[in-house]
Chains A and B, each alone.
Chain A
Amino acid sequence: MLSRTADTLFWLGRYVERADNAARIIDAASRLATVPVPTAARSTEWDSALAAAGAYSAFAARHGEPTRDAAIDFLAFSPANPSSIRSCLETARNNARSVRTALTAEMWEAINGAWMELKRFDGAMMDRQTLNEFLSGVKEACLRFDGSAYRTMLRNDVYYFLRLGFYLERADNTARILDVKYNVLLPHESNVGGGLDYFHWASILRSVSALTAYRWVYHDSLKPWLIADLLILNEQLPRSISSCYGNLATYLDELSQAYGRQGPSQRTARSIRTRIQNTSISEIFQRRGLHEFLTEFIADNARLGEAIAEQYLA
């Protein structure tokens, strides 16, 4: 396969996943914004949402302190933000078009449909009702694209590169969502199980659609270390870092089988995966520190991206 084609597929996967994540982050932040806060404190949910989407400094440079409308517009519609939902879907659609014959008709229709649908929405001053409609539309489109890929594609390198993009992006997003709120996940006795933190914890889980999963897995009230455990180490949760790395290792392995050769990306993915598997949540909290762990992971994950780019996409 042409390197350019592989690169286009990889980023197609990443942008679809990024759009989906942005939708979930906006969703969770909107929800959190309805929780009453002590009047003295400024509510920070939009700062967090921007930070989780990796768009905080770009936003601050343009608009200063975030307001709801400005933040939503930036995260969802702004052409100035290359990771806004609109930018993501536009890039994804352009990518899909340039490798159209490599995709199945269902996948093309999903992404092209989402892109056309997007035109109906205008960022400025969107009411809650319309916003919800928009966000569910985006999530559905991503689901449809993902599902079409799963159900209709040949399992060959086209599929693998698309999947690598998905999981690399997803691992990054999960780590960022956790990292933005790492301070509320620090175990300080007074707040456990109640107060404002509770809503923050719920918001984290909601950002990755894992609130229900949490209850199923732990049969317990929300506890910060369990939340971190679920999102980092639980292989059963499709958005956990651990699960992403299981998939990354698998698809890289498939690629090396198909091409009869392995390289730095396979080695990098395996070593990151082993480290995750060999750690525990208490070790992360007590010995390393959650923030340090996540910072290191985000850098590792980026390194894997570079290794894949160098080995296959350049």
Chain B
Amino acid sequence: MPEAFDEMTLPDGSNRPGYAFLKRWIDNTSAESLAHRRLEAELLFRRIGITFAVYGQNEAEERIIPFDIIPRVMTRTEWERLSRGLEQRVRAINLFLADLYGSAEILRAGVVPEDLIYQNPNYRPEMVGLKLPHNVYVQIAGIDLVRTGEDDFYVLEDNARTPSGVSYMLENREVMMRMFPDLFAEHRIDPVETYPDELLATLISVAPTTHAEPTVALLTPGPFNSAYYEHSFLADKLGIELVEGRDLLVVDNIVVMRTTEGLKRVDVLYRRLDDEFLDPLTFRPDSILGVPGLMNAYQAGNITLANAVGTGVADDKAVYTYMPEIIRFYLGEEAILKNVPTWRCREKDACTYVLEHLEELVVKEVAGSGGYGMLIGPRSDRAAREEFAHRIKAHPENYIAQPTLALSTCPTFVEEGIAPRHVDLRPFVLTGADKIRIVPGGLTRVALKEGSLVVNSSQGGGTKDTWVLDA
């Protein structure tokens, strides 16, 4: 695997732009003091109450995701370029969805193969022909980015359904500001605390036009969902009701919530519940988390769901590979953010190449075909590769393959002191009727284990605050 790009220190030992002060700060702070600071941060997290749910168990303690007190830094110039790329991408995703559920020009033009869409369970026929307010499908997107070099940013994954993690972005900043007020005073770091306001403005902007002062609510699957903390956190920050399916009713195609003052109309639902569970009368009949009749109210245009139903077809792993073409098709532009080069095994030449290079590649199964995980070539043994080769040959259309990327590293405070660790970034992109809003930064996830590329919190990942500043 190639040498990873370090975001603080260049190979010649000099600091990258924006990192000079951080280097100084690290050099002037003893390990002891850092350890002390980390403890302090953990206490703050516990006090604020941010916890990673281990609900349902007889757990008295709720875990917190490890937090690294060394921030990740990005210059405003870097960010502006990223942010243009994000905006372009999300704009294309929305146009793509509107087209798929409308006249499907892109399929007719043969840019994206039809079966990839129509046989995808996340393509929802219930959405065909539906006119959404302002044609916005994905109000909230979380785009996972990785960096491999000075100018090399890749989109790893688009999350167009119910992306989570934004509460960590906000809490991380809150904790950092309490702990290091001086650094913030000296370096004019772009604030992220406007996110809840931006989100609320976005949600209000996409309300059905039938209502002058729209009521917004957040629909959660309930306290046993692993992201429940985030749901209640956001509802609180937005000043909106946190509702469960049983709090809502559909009366003559109008969605209402049961309150102590009677039934109250809801105009916009920021739903953190998957499509499948939204309405037992349309989707899974055994869902007790949803609202019977919700889809009828939606189809009647009486409520806005954010995100819309059926957006999952746009963040599918196989559809992802067509994003550069999708952007070109709708915007007539080249993608600013690169896709990770991908071999689609459905294409014969690509398949042959993949089978010959299994050792170097990451092979992933596309959504909707069972989810038997992935093969990380360089870390696999012969048996695993043979098994995958067998599967790929049987159903080539179910697989894609990508090169193993050397994710960039950032200085991180770990057991053995300060050491480089691999990171990714999830910025959140809000699309309203009026404009696209992106708060500068996002959630940086860091793989705390040495050499590990897995940043997921369930597998030893942590988070960092992300600072966008003038260099």
CB distance A3 to B259 under 8 Å? yes
A3 touches B223 (CB 8 A): no
Report the Cα distance A194→B60, complex, angstroms: 49
A313 to B222, CA, bound (A): 18
Say whether B60 contacts A4, CB under 8 Å: no
Instruction: Please determine whether A100 and B259 come into contact, CB atoms closer than 8 angstroms.
Output: no
Q: Which residues of A contact B261 (CB under 8 A)?
A: 1, 259, 261
Q: Is B246 an interface residue (CB 8 A)?
A: yes
> A261 to B246, alpha carbons, bound, how many Å?
25
Is B210 an interface residue when CB atoms closer than 8 A count as contact? no
Of the candidates A2, A94, A259, A313, the one whose C-beta lies within 8 Å of that of B241 is: A2
- Assembly CA distance A238 to B434 (angstroms): 57
Check if A4 sits within 8 Å of B49, measured CB to CB.
Answer: no
Which residues, 203 to 234 on B, are CB-close (under 8 Å) to A?
A: 222-223, 232
Contact A98 B60 (CB under 8 A): no
- Would you call B232 and A4 a contact (CB within 8 A)? no
Rounded to whole angstroms, the CA-CA distance of A128 and B241 in the bound complex is 47
Chain A residues closer than 8 Å to B246, beta-carbon distance: 4
* Chain B 258-284 interface mask (CB, 8 Å, partner A; 1/0): 111100000000000000000000000
A-B residue pair count with CB separations less than 8 angstroms: 45
B255 within 8 A of A: no
Given A97-B223, A115-B60, A116-B60, verify A3-B260 contact (CB < 8 Å). yes
Where chain B touches its partner, the secondary structure class is mixed
State whether B60 touches A2 (Cβ < 8 A).
no
A157 within 8 A of partner (CB): yes
Across-interface contacts of B49 in A (CB, < 8 A): 100, 105, 108
Judged by DSSP, the binding face of A is helix
Whole-angstrom CA separation of A108 from B46 in the bound complex = 13
Determine the chain B residues whose CB is within 8 A of the CB of A1 once the complex forms: 259-261
B260 with A6: CB separation less than 8 A: yes
- For A95-120 the 0/1 string (1 means CB < 8 A from B) is 00110110001001000100110010
A residues near B222, Cβ cutoff 8 Å: 98
In the complex, whether B160 has a CB less than 8 A from a CB of chain A is: no
Is A312's CB within 8 Å of the partner chain B? yes
Tell whether B244 is near chain A: CB-to-CB under 8 Å: yes
From known contacts A2-B247, A116-B60, infer whether A314 and B232 are also in contact, taking CB-CB under 8 Å. no
Residues of B within 8 A of A261 (CB): 261
Closest to A93 in B: B60
Contacts of A108 in B (CB 8 A): 49
A101: contacting residue among B47, B223, B236, CB under 8 A: B236
* Distance (whole angstroms) from the CB of B131 to the closest CB of chain A: 31
A119 pairs with B259, CB closer than 8 A: no
Shortest B273–chain A CB gap in Å is 16
Within the complex, the shortest CB–CB distance from A193 to chain B, in Å, comes to 50
8 examples of A-B residue contacts, CB within 8 angstroms = A2-B258, A3-B258, A4-B246, A4-B247, A98-B222, A108-B49, A116-B60, A259-B260
- A contacts, CB < 8 Å to B: 1-4, 6, 94, 97-98, 100-101, 105, 108, 112, 115-116, 119, 157, 161, 255, 259, 261, 312-314
Q: A2-B241, A2-B243 are in contact. List 4 more A-B contacts (CB 8 A).
A: A2-B259, A108-B49, A116-B60, A313-B260
